[in-house]
């Protein structure tokens, strides 16, 4: 998880100066030539944050049956709940026209999820509540949200958390289905890791790209107008500031969805030929136009580039402690609790001497943000955050960094120069495993669609006309 993402969309303020100090923005799979199923960090603009009057169907119409999937119904309520989830989680204005274009794709996506869940249940696979909670926490962390922020936001907007839980349950359960199908092939041997290491050594000096993707499958390649329109809609939302990991988690029909669309570091030979020319030319963190690939459309973003075999960088081992506010900060009129929190943070910044003490402090404050953000690469921090971190001597604590929801203290435990291009055996094993999982997923999805009985009801036309 990116440390800089923890502070994205947060202005770090001084209670005394009342001025913004900084804002910070914020697995590896070979290309998988997908086949379509058989037919069945930037900020949102601040100028206008009001939502258009997006009209959802009334309660009287939401229980209409849209489709029947192997005897299981899909209702208009299911479609509208998923649409509301998208509107709230992206935090962007969504016009009625955009919402209308999304509904067709949502119906197809929900049909696929019904098929996957039926397969999960037929194998008696149980998804534990702890797995769901961890997945939600990961989504929040990837998007710089405090713990429980996504849950609270859904609740405030009148959206049942069940809508998100149902989607995550399918994604997690489907991974367990694939592990069962892979069986012995789910174990990567030392020989296979060695062979991949040798292949990487042979490619030393060639470029690599850190890529995230959203894959939109096309049901009928002869008529892909709806999917293309939907892909363009998603691209517009991303370019307007919608968080890529959240959109990927909701709409990408690729196994990378649970990782926010991340495919990790990829060399040119492992990138689809339709995608590679665009990846080579596009600026970092830009959003691509729709890219037609076997089976559908891809949306790509390139986070970083490097040369295989050599990329020197500074690894940071850090800790943080967070003093939460009981109410949002008004810089001109801080509350007594906020003033007291600042006094405690100032005292801690002068007395904390070790990372263990920093972790203990964060635990005593309720652990509302994880103390250990994981190893960070200094060169990939957002520029303004890097300026702050570069000024913190190793073994020392930063000055208090004040945000609307609380005060953070940062400590640099260690700095280490390392060749970041060298993949560990564990990273190579993950890459090999992800390749096998993706192939198995595509094969099983095609089989489920081929054997399914799917009936689209007339009410679907009503949904698509809204």
Contact 394, 412 (CB under 8 A): yes
Q: Is residue 405 part of a domain?
A: yes
Based on the domain organization, do 191 and 279 belong to the same domain?
Answer: yes
Q: pLDDT class for 421, splitting at 50, 70, 90? A: low
Q: Is residue 45 part of a domain?
A: no
- Rg of the chain over CA atoms, in angstroms? 23
Section 400-406 average pLDDT:
89
Q: Is residue 30 part of a domain?
A: no
Q: Is residue 33 part of a domain?
A: no
Q: Is residue 42 part of a domain?
A: no
Dump pLDDT digits (tens) for 78-100. 888 888 887 776 666 666 776 77
Based on the domain organization, do 14 and 159 belong to the same domain?
Answer: no
Dump pLDDT digits (tens) for 107-156. 888 898 999 999 999 999 999 999 998 888 877 776 666 778 778 877 87
Based on the domain organization, do 303 and 390 belong to the same domain?
Answer: no
Based on the domain organization, do 367 and 454 belong to the same domain?
Answer: no
Based on the domain organization, do 289 and 150 belong to the same domain?
Answer: yes
Based on the domain organization, do 278 and 322 belong to the same domain?
Answer: no
Number of domains in the chain: 2
pLDDT of residue 322 exceeding 50: yes
HSE at residue 180, side-chain half, CA atoms within 13 A, is 13
Based on the domain organization, do 140 and 71 belong to the same domain?
Answer: yes
Give the domain CATH number at 110. Answer: 3.10.50.40
Based on the domain organization, do 93 and 225 belong to the same domain?
Answer: yes
Q: Is residue 36 part of a domain?
A: no
Determine the Cα–Cα distance for residues 10 and 124; give it in Å rounded to an integer.
Answer: 43
Q: What is the pLDDT of residue 262?
A: 85
Q: What is the pLDDT of residue 263?
A: 84
Based on the domain organization, do 263 and 326 belong to the same domain?
Answer: no
Q: Is residue 53 part of a domain?
A: no
CA nearest 353: which of 415, 411, 408, 414?
411
**Following DSSP, what letter does each residue of 29-81 receive, concatenated?**
-------PPPP---PPPSS--PPP-PPPPPHHHHT-EEEEETTEEEEHHHHHH
Which DSSP state fits 401?
E
Determine the Cα–Cα distance for residues 174 and 290; give it in Å rounded to an integer.
Answer: 27
Q: Is residue 202 part of a domain?
A: yes
Alpha-carbon torsion 397, 400, 404, 405, what sign? Answer: positive
List the beta bridge partners of residue 312.
419
Q: Tokens 């790209």 — which residue?
A: 209
Based on the domain organization, do 137 and 238 belong to the same domain?
Answer: yes
CA nearest 218: which of 67, 37, 447?
37
- In our burial notation (b when 16+ CB lie closer than 10 A, e otherwise), range 137-159 reads bbbbbbbbbbbeebbeebeeeeb
Based on the domain organization, do 170 and 202 belong to the same domain?
Answer: yes
Based on the domain organization, do 281 and 149 belong to the same domain?
Answer: yes
Dump pLDDT digits (tens) for 177-230. 988 888 877 788 888 888 887 777 777 778 889 899 999 888 788 888 888 988
Q: Which residues span the domain enclosing 357?
A: 4-25+313-419
């Amino acid at each position: 998880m990116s440390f800089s993402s923890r502070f994205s969309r947060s202005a770090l303020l001084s209670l005394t100066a009342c001025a913004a100090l900084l804002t910070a923005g914020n697995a590896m799979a070979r290309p998988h030539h997908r086949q379509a199923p058989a037919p069945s960090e930037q900020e949102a603009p601040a100028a206008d944050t009001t939502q258009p009057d997006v009209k959802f169907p009334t309660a009287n119409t939401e229980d209409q049956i849209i489709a029947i999937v192997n005897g299981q119904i899909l209702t208009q309520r299911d479609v509208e709940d998923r649409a509301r989830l998208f509107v709230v989680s992206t935090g962007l204005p969504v016009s009625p026209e955009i919402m209308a274009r999304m509904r067709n794709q949502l119906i197809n996506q929900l049909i696929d999820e019904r098929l996957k869940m039926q397969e999960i249940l037929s194998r008696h696979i149980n998804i534990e509540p702890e797995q769901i909670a961890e997945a939600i926490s990961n989504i929040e962390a990837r998007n710089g949200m405090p713990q429980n922020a996504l849950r609270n936001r859904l609740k405030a907007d009148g959206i049942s958390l069940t809508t998100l839980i149902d989607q995550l349950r399918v994604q997690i359960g489907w991974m367990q289905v694939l592990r069962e199908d892979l069986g012995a092939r789910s174990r990567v041997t030392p020989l296979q890791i060695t062979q991949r290491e040798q292949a990487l050594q042979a490619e030393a000096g060639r470029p690599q790209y850190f890529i995230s993707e959203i894959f939109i499958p096309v049901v009928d390649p002869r008529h892909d107008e709806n999917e293309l329109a939907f892909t363009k809609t998603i691209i517009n939302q991303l370019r307007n500031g919608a968080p890529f990991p959240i959109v990927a988690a909701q709409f990408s029909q690729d196994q990378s969805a649970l990782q926010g669309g991340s495919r990790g570091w990829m060399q040119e030979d492992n990138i689809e030929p339709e995608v590679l020319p665009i990846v080579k030319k596009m600026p970092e963190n830009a959003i691509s136009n729709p890219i037609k690939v076997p089976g559908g459309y891809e949306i790509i973003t390139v986070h970083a580039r490097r040369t295989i075999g050599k990329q020197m960088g500074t690894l940071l081992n850090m800790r943080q402690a967070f003093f939460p506010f009981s109410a949002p900060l008004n810089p001109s009129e801080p509350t007594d609790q906020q003033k007291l929190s600042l006094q405690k943070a100032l005292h801690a910044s002068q007395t904390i001497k070790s990372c263990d003490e920093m972790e203990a402090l964060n635990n005593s404050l309720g652990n509302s943000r994880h103390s250990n953000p994981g190893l960070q690469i200094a060169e990939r921090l957002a520029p303004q955050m890097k300026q702050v971190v570069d000024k913190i001597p190793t073994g020392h604590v930063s000055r208090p960094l004040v945000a609307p929801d609380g005060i953070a203290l940062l400590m640099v435990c260690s700095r280490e120069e390392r060749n970041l291009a060298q993949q560990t055996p564990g990273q190579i094993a993950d890459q090999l495993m992800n390749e096998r999982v993706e192939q198995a997923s595509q094969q099983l999805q095609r089989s489920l669609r081929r054997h399914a009985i799917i009936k689209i009801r007339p009410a679907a036309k009503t949904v698509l006309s809204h």
